Amino acid sequence: MHNTITTFLSQHLQLSKEEAQAFLELDLVKAFPKGTVLLEEGVLSKSCFVVLKGCVRSYYLVEGEEKNTAFYTENQIVTPISYQNQQPSEYYISCLEDCILCVGSTTKTEQLLNRLPHLEAIGYQLNGQKAIENQRQYEAYKILSPEQRYQKMLTENPELCNRIPQYHLASYLGITPETLSRIRKRIVSQ
């Protein structure tokens, strides 16, 4: 387990051994079975997460329909808007698979920042990257047709396309499962 965490950390943060140790000592890692709801609509988020193993999704509930907005897999950071702005969440987050997550809270983050002040600059960078990524995704969604969005997904995230049930993928792509099925048929027969 410690190994998984340090692997993740080294990929993102270039920490010294002491620094990595600081992370481990905070005891942040927890396991969650498939289906666990990590955050509910209307609730204040107390935690952010890093996926060490498994898959997490976020989704809005609109007129009884779940609308997936993101999937998070190994080494990805899940920071609910509600966690950042301390407003009630507008969406849900739940585990698509059995998960092992690094769970962060404001107090633990504070402790960490106290021990490792230079992490603040890294957070700065991560926020900037996140802003860019969100903008790109938004623009790609607007510009591309459903079929093009699926093609993009296929090339950029082939593993995810196999890992996730199609109806979840369809919801994420903003189409019905039926339409996704037909798109796939079209692509195969070309």
Partner DNA sequence: TTCATTTCTTGATTCAAATCAATGGAAAGC
Partner DNA sequence: GCTTTCCATTGATTTGAATCAAGAAATGAA
Contact by Cβ (8 Å): 81, 90: yes
CB of 51 to DNA, least distance (A): 20
Give the per-residue SS3 of 76-89.
CEECCHHHHHCCCC
Please pick, from the candidates 62, 155, 162, 190, the single residue that binds a second copy as defined by CB under 8 A.
62
Using the rule CB under 7 A, is 127 a contact of DNA?
no
- Helix (H) or strand (E) run with residue 65 in it: strand 65-72
Q: How far apart (Å, rounded) are the C-alpha atoms in residues 111 and 2? A: 19
178: CB partners within 8 A, 6+ apart:
none
Please pick, from the candidates 4, 36, 69, 179, the single residue that binds a second copy as defined by CB under 8 A.
69
Q: Which stretch binds DNA (CB under 7 A): 47-55, 68-76, 135-143, 172-180?
A: 172-180
Q: How far apart (Å, rounded) are the C-alpha atoms in residues 31 and 102? A: 9
Q: State residue 126 phi and psi, 5-degree precision.
A: -60, -40
Contact by Cβ (8 Å): 51, 101: yes
Binding positions for a second copy, 19-48, rule CB under 8 A: none
CB of 45 to DNA, least distance (A): 26
Q: Which partner in DNA, a second copy, none is near 67 (CB below 5 to 8 A by kind)?
A: a second copy
Using the rule CB under 8 A, is 176 a contact of a second copy?
no
Per-residue binding letters, 96-135, with a second copy (x by CB under 8 A): ------------------------xx-xx--xx-xxx-xx
Please pick, from the candidates 36, 46, 116, 146, the single residue that binds DNA as defined by CB under 7 A.
146
